[in-house]
Structure 1
Amino acid sequence: MLITFARSFLTLNLARRMAAAGHQVTVVDSMRGGVSKWSNATTAFHRVSPPKYKPQEYCRELAAIVEREKVDIVIPIHEETDILAMMAGLFPATCELFLSSFEIEEMLHNKLSYQQALVDRGIETLKFREISSPEDAVAAANDFTTPFAVKQAYSRGSQKVYKAYPGDDLSYLTYDPTNPWIAQEWLEGDRYCTYSVCRDGEMYAHATYPVAYAIGGSSCLTFEQVEHPGIVEWTRRLVKEVGFTGHMGLDFIDNPERGLVTIECNPRGTSGIMMFKDEDRVDRAFFGENTELITPPKGHTTMIGAGMAIYGWKKSSYPNNTFRKFFAEMRKADDVIASKKDPKPGLLMPLAYAYIANDARKYRVGLDGGFMHDHEWDGRPI
């Protein structure tokens, strides 16, 4: 099999689960190195073109690797998923791309079309409206009677989300005709994230974790499996109604009065993949081999250790955070990088971050943007 985005902790963890189950794993990336490249779970690494800037070259290079190494399945991790879906015809019929059609992937990825898809299916969601011009911005500010979020239709955790209030001046927004803004009701409640592995409208693996320790309250650093039957059934319904194949993450708000609503959908790999253990055999879900839903053990907690060390102790990382809470969480959680059986990725983390910092300088973005910038897709035609 081939897994993309070798620099990602998600790729590393998936590669480890697959290798433990006996699969041969090839990884690719546009960066010279990355944590998965140095893992003993991978049998080959190939440097390829950046999908954001050279999408056709990227897909042709992957197709050539598939042909040469007789790869039977390609599992995309980040937003290169959309690009691969557009060019699925380049790949030999003997290889499966673990994703849905481009129409489904794009509908779920675009925050506006995702919300509209929920409305069309009679699924309650947050109030929203499109902002494509200064006039739309004025109308939105006057339409909402409660606080609302403003973010771009194609965006991800590394990018700014503005909290606005009725009547606010939104003249600071700039406009991209291929990437409009969405104004979305800001609802309070318990926040959860999910990760699901799906095939042909059925869900084969699933993880649910509350937003706990997180950078700026949004990018999670710890992941604890909890039971929430309502979220499982809500996700099953969406997966079945759109006939989804691939892996996806959903962000939920559980409000005491209104119940469950989703903020957005990420039709690709998400951090929940790092919650599974070898013995869970999540590899079976990617091939639809299991009959009962695979989940991590209840209460099992993992963490991005480096991220916790840098950010976890800060007040902004957890409500009413204290050093005692921080150290207790660090003791309880398993690091998703460090492994006695696979030590090189952890030992070479400084080199991995050096590569990311180099890309950040190259593309003139921050370190978080440098991590994923050349694998993003913002709706521009190819």
Structure 2
Amino acid sequence: MSRLRGTTVLITGGRAPVALDLARKFAACGSRVLVAESAPADLCRRSKAVAATFRVPPPNRAPVAFAEALAGIAKREAVDLLVPTCEEIFWVARGLDVLEPHCRVLAEPLERLRGLHSKWEFVRQAEAFGLPVPRTVRGAGLRLPYVVKPVFSRFATKVRVVTAEEPAPDEAWVAQELLTGRQVCTYSVAAAGRLVAHAAYEVEFTASGACVNFAPIDDHPIEQWVTKFLEKSGFTGQIAFDFIDGLPLECNPRATSGIHLFGPELAEVLYGCATGVLPGQPLRPDPERRAMLGLAMLGFGLGQHGLARWWRVLRESADVIAVPGDRGPFRSQLDVLWHTWLRSLWTRRSMIECSTYDIEWDGR
């Protein structure tokens, strides 16, 4: 019998596919799953895996009220574990002192997360651990061409390739050597620096820079890099890295799409990280597993790698959103897209930027 049977789990970030997938994994293990979200639409409210959803204040506008709302839910609903998924994790971490009296929280303290989220501090930290990293500077000093990007950013929305001499970027930006080879993303779970789950997948079909199809690969050098970084840092929780040519571009100390490569056993591992009951060997995905964001593959994938390749991936991959027996979230994703599009029109920002407008954290 699963150790999760009879537990209550609160997942934040309900607009995201990773939150929906985690909700299903925890429910499959016997948990009662609750979801909290600050946006007016989320993916989870129509899922059969979710017992209840709660609207909470926007964390980057009302961080105190956000933490207090989560604490109130945890107290009223007897929550055993709170699992953040997306960038709201930084605001959850900011409110740990309010939350931890009421439930376990799968989040490191904010200052530790800051050093991983920062594209400057992360590279310096990895370099101090003796790990290979791309040449990265603040200011001038790189040969052309190179890339500039904000110290705190997401989805590569402001990444720019520099091909001619120009003034050095200010302290809010970093310059990094331009890498152009194989792109690999990883998703891992760690407990006090010990790797307890790991998946790697190659970036192929994308939507606004984000990967939308997922197939596990074995990349031993990258896994060694991740393992050593985790050991040196002593990190606990969910963490992901983006690599090009075997060198790390950035770190995301939160859930990412790599969770789609695992089955319900990932929920057991996450609960074990919070309770100290860990598997003997790291959990790895089934090598035959294939997943995708179906609507994104239909809308963005066609034409990226040829019709034959696109059709093969579409045919072999399971949609993350609409799964047999739980089709409600397919309609919910249309609600999310509609509200995001309206905000995009109102703010004149891209839809991808609007998808995180109320949860972004830039080191404040």
TM-score between both structures, scaled by the size of structure 2:
0.92
Separation in 1 of the partners of 2:160 and 2:288?
A: 33
Contact 1:209–1:223 (CA under 8 A) maintained in structure 2:
yes
Equivalent residue for 1:262, pick from 226, 232, 248: 248
Which residue number corresponds to residue 97 of structure 2? 89
Equivalent residue for 1:183, pick from 153, 160, 175: 175
1:207 aligns with 2:207: no
Which residue number corresponds to residue 359 of structure 1? 343
1:302 aligns with 2:278: no
User: What SS is found at the alignment partner of 1:282?
Assistant: helix
* Aligned residue runs from structure 1 range 129-168, under 5 A: 129-130=137-138, 136=139, 140=140, 143-157=141-155, 159-165=157-163, 167-168=164-165
Deviation at 1:94, TM superposition (A): 4.5
Equivalent residue for 1:73, pick from 67, 81, 90: 81
1:377 aligns with 2:350: no
Equivalent residue for 2:109, pick from 94, 97, 101: 101
Contact 1:192–1:253 (CA under 8 A) maintained in structure 2:
yes
Structure 1 letter corresponding to 2:343: D
Identity in percent: 30
Aligned residues: CA RMSD: 1.7
User: What SS is found at the alignment partner of 1:340?
Assistant: coil
Contact 2:146–2:176 (CA under 8 A) maintained in structure 1:
yes
User: What SS is found at the alignment partner of 1:284?
Assistant: helix
Contact 1:71–1:95 (CA under 8 A) maintained in structure 2:
yes
Structure 2 letter corresponding to 1:198: A
Which residue number corresponds to residue 25 of structure 1? 33
Contact 1:15–1:25 (CA under 8 A) maintained in structure 2:
yes
Q: After superposition, give the CA deviation of every residue in 1:220-242 in whole Å (9 maximum; x if it has no partner).
A: 01110011122222111111211
Q: Identify if the C-alpha distance between structure 1 residues 349 and 102 changes in structure 2 by more than 3 Å, giving closer, same or farther.
A: closer
Number of residues of Structure 1 aligned to a counterpart in Structure 2: 351
Structure 2 letter corresponding to 1:219: A
Structure 2 letter corresponding to 1:164: V
Contact 1:284–1:290 (CA under 8 A) maintained in structure 2:
no
Which residue number corresponds to residue 329 of structure 1? 313
Contact 1:252–1:262 (CA under 8 A) maintained in structure 2:
yes
Separation in 1 of the partners of 2:156 and 2:345?
A: 16
Separation in 2 of the partners of 1:261 and 1:57?
A: 40
Contact 2:129–2:229 (CA under 8 A) maintained in structure 1:
no
Contact 2:71–2:102 (CA under 8 A) maintained in structure 1:
no
Gaps of 5+ in 2: 1-8, 273-277
1:228 aligns with 2:228: no
Structure 2 letter corresponding to 1:109: H
Separation in 2 of the partners of 1:368 and 1:338?
A: 21
User: What SS is found at the alignment partner of 2:44?
Assistant: helix
Deviation at 1:201, TM superposition (A): 1.3
Contact 2:81–2:271 (CA under 8 A) maintained in structure 1:
no
TM-score between both structures, scaled by the size of structure 1:
0.88
Deviation at 1:374, TM superposition (A): 0.9
Separation in 1 of the partners of 2:269 and 2:151?
A: 30
Separation in 1 of the partners of 2:339 and 2:156?
A: 18
1:169 aligns with 2:166: yes
Q: Identify if the C-alpha distance between structure 1 residues 359 and 97 changes in structure 2 by more than 3 Å, giving closer, same or farther.
A: farther
User: What SS is found at the alignment partner of 2:201?
Assistant: strand
Deviation at 1:20, TM superposition (A): 0.4
Separation in 2 of the partners of 1:34 and 1:338?
A: 14
Deviation at 1:93, TM superposition (A): 2.8
Contact 1:199–1:286 (CA under 8 A) maintained in structure 2:
no
Equivalent residue for 2:19, pick from 11, 16, 30: 11
Separation in 2 of the partners of 1:206 and 1:363?
A: 38
Contact 1:338–1:345 (CA under 8 A) maintained in structure 2:
yes
Which residue number corresponds to residue 257 of structure 1? none
Contact 1:78–1:376 (CA under 8 A) maintained in structure 2:
no
Structure 1 letter corresponding to 2:326: D
Deviation at 1:32, TM superposition (A): 2.4
Deviation at 1:343, TM superposition (A): 1.0
